[in-house]
C-alpha cells in the first residue's frame, strides 16, 4: 500500500512526528486512553491551580468552542468567513439584553440566542451563499463590522459603554460566580462542541459539505443542493458561536462592542487555519496555540505579536495544510 501514503507531509521532521502520532491515535484503545486521561486531568486541574491558570484555561475552552464553530463553516463547508466575531456578539448581546434589561433567567436566554444566530445566519447567508469564493469573505467582513457598529450605536445595547449587570447563571441553587464554575461550564461546552463536531463530520451532512468543498459541480450533479447545504453549515456554525457568546456574557457580566472586534474574527480563523481546516483535533490544537502563546510570551511584551507572525509565516511556508496531517488513504475505521 506504499503508493497510497501521501508523501508531501513526510518531508519535515515535525511532519514525521505528527504522522507517527496520527497513526498511533488511529487505533481506538490508545485514543480513548489518552482522551480519558486528559479529561481526568482537566477535571482535576482547578483543584490544584491558581485562579490565573483557571482563567486562561476557561478562555482556552471558549476558544475551542468558537474555533470548532468556525471550523464547521470554514473547514467543513469551505466558506471563508471573516466576521465570525459578529456571531458571538449576537449571542452575547441577546443574553445580555434579555438578562440585564428584562431579567430573564440565563438558561432561558440560550434558545433565544440560538434563534437570533440562526436569523442572522440566514439573513447574511441566504443571499450570499450562491456566490462563489471570495465574495462571501467580503460580505462576512462587512457584516462583522455592521454588527459591531450597530451594537455601538443602539440604545438597547448600551452604546459604546456596553451592557453591565448581566445576571450570573444559577445551577441547582448555586450561583455560578467563581472562575472555577466557569472553568467547568466552558469545559462542558467544549466537550459538547467536540462531540457535535465529530458526529456532524461522520454524517450525511458532513460528507455533503466535503463533497461541495471538493467539487461544487460534481456535488450538485450527485443531487446535493449546494446552497441549502452550505446554509446549513453557516447556521450551525453561527449557533455554536452564539452559544459561546452567551456564556461569555454570563462570565464577564459586562460586554462592550470592543469585545467583538475584527481582530477576534481573525484570531479564530487563524486558529482554524493553523491547526488544519476541517480536522477537529487540528482545530483544537490551533485554539490551544492561539490562546497559550500570547499568555506564555507575556514577558516580551509587544514583541510577541511579531514572534507569532514569524511562526505563522514559517508554518504556512512549510505546512500550508495546517499542523494536523491529512487523512490517509485507507483508514482503520469501518
Partner 1 sequence: MALLEIKDLTLRFGGLCAVNKLSLEIEEGSIRSLIGPNGAGKTCVFNCLTGFYKPSDGDMIFMGESLVKRKPHIITYKGMARTFQNLRLFQQMTVFENVMSGMHCRSSAGFIGAVLRTGSQKLEEKKIREVAEECLDFVGILDKKYYMAKNLPYGDQRRVEWARALATQPKLLLLDEPAAGLNKEEKSRLIDLMRRIRDERKITIFLIEHDMGLVMKVSEKIFVIDYGVKIAEGEAKEVQDNPRVIEAYLGKEEEEDAV
Tell me the closest approach of the beta carbon of residue 213 to partner 1, in angstroms: 9
Distances (CA, A) of 152 to 10, 18, 66, 176, 296: 49, 44, 22, 28, 32
Residues 6 or more apart whose CB falls under 8 angstroms from that of 161 comprise 256
Of 140-148, 223-231, 247-255, 298-306, the window that binds partner 1 (rule: CB under 8 A) is 223-231
Tell me the closest approach of the beta carbon of residue 253 to partner 1, in angstroms: 31
Tell me the closest approach of the beta carbon of residue 219 to partner 1, in angstroms: 7
Q: Is 26 in the site for partner 1 (CB under 8 A)?
A: no
Choosing from 35, 44, 215, 305, the residue that interacts with partner 1 (CB under 8 A) is 215
Residues facing 175 on adjacent strands: 170
Choosing from 103, 173, 223, 301, the residue that interacts with partner 1 (CB under 8 A) is 223
Choosing from 73, 208, 242, 284, the residue that interacts with partner 1 (CB under 8 A) is 208
**Please, which residue, 39 or 228, has the CB nearer to partner 1?**
228
Spatial separation of the C-alpha atoms in residues 28 and 33, rounded to whole Å: 9
Choosing from 98, 219, 243, 280, the residue that interacts with partner 1 (CB under 8 A) is 219
C-alpha cell at 78: 469551505
Kindly state the number of chain residues that form the binding site for partner 1, as judged by CB under 8 A: 35
**Count of other CB atoms within 10 angstroms of residue 203:** 11
Choosing from 98, 236, 250, 273, the residue that interacts with partner 1 (CB under 8 A) is 236
Q: Is 207 in the site for partner 1 (CB under 8 A)?
A: yes
C-alpha cell at 47: 483543584
- Selection from 322, 287, 290, 293 nearest residue 65 by Cα: 287
Spatial separation of the C-alpha atoms in residues 221 and 223, rounded to whole Å: 5
DSSP labels for 181-237? Answer: HHHHHHHHHHHHHHHHHHHHHTSHHHHHHHHHHH-HHHHHHTT--HHHHHHHHHHHH
Q: Is 73 in the site for partner 1 (CB under 8 A)?
A: no
**Phi-psi category of residue 331: left, alpha or beta, with phi > 0 → left and psi -120 to 50 → alpha:** beta
Tell me the closest approach of the beta carbon of residue 3 to partner 1, in angstroms: 6
Site string for partner 1, 309-328 (x = CB under 8 A): -----------------xx-
Tell me the closest approach of the beta carbon of residue 214 to partner 1, in angstroms: 4
Q: Is 130 in the site for partner 1 (CB under 8 A)?
A: no
Binding residues for partner 1, rule: CB under 8 A, are: 3-4, 195-196, 199-200, 202-208, 210-211, 214-215, 217-226, 232, 236, 326-327, 329-331, 334
Amino acid at each position: 500500500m506504499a503508493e497510497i501514503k501521501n508523501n508531501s507531509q513526510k518531508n519535515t521532521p515535525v511532519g514525521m512526528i505528527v504522522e507517527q502520532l496520527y497513526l498511533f491515535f488511529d487505533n481506538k484503545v490508545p485514543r480513548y486512553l489518552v482522551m480519558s486521561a486528559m479529561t481526568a486531568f482537566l477535571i482535576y486541574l482547578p483543584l490544584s491551580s491558581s485562579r490565573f491558570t483557571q482563567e486562561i484555561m476557561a478562555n482556552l475552552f471558549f476558544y475551542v468552542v468558537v474555533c470548532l464553530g468556525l471550523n464547521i463553516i470554514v473547514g467543513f463547508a469551505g466558506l471563508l468567513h471573516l466576521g465570525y466575531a459578529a456571531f458571538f456578539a449576537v449571542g452575547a448581546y441577546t443574553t445580555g439584553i434579555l438578562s440585564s434589561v428584562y431579567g430573564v433567567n440565563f438558561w432561558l436566554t440560550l434558545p433565544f440566542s440560538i434563534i437570533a444566530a440562526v436569523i442572522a445566519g440566514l439573513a447574511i447567508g441566504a443571499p450570499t451563499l450562491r456566490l462563489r469564493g471570495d465574495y462571501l469573505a467580503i460580505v462576512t467582513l462587512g457584516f462583522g463590522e455592521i454588527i459591531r457598529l450597530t451594537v455601538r450605536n443602539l440604545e438597547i445595547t448600551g452604546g459604546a459603554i456596553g451592557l453591565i449587570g448581566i445576571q450570573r447563571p444559577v445551577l441547582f441553587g448555586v450561583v455560578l460566580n467563581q472562575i472555577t464554575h466557569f472553568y467547568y461550564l466552558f469545559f462542558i461546552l467544549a466537550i459538547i462542541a467536540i462531540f457535535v463536531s465529530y458526529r456532524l463530520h461522520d454524517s450525511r451532512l458532513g460528507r455533503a459539505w466535503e463533497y461541495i468543498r471538493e467539487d461544487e459541480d460534481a456535488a450538485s450533479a450527485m443531487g446535493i443542493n449546494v446552497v441549502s447545504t452550505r446554509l446549513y453549515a453557516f447556521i450551525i456554525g453561527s449557533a455554536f458561536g452564539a452559544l459561546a457568546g452567551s456564556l461569555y456574557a454570563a462570565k464577564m457580566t459586562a460586554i462592550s462592542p470592543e469585545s467583538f472586534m475584527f481582530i477576534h474574527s481573525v484570531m479564530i480563523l487563524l486558529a482554524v487555519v493553523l491547526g488544519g481546516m476541517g480536522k477537529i483535533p487540528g482545530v483544537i490544537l490551533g485554539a490551544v496555540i492561539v490562546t497559550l502563546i500570547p499568555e506564555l510570551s507575556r514577558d516580551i511584551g509587544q514583541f510577541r505579536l511579531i514572534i507569532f507572525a514569524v511562526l505563522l509565516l514559517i508554518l504556512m511556508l512549510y505546512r500550508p495544510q495546517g499542523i494536523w496531517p491529512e487523512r490517509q488513504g485507507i483508514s482503520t475505521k469501518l
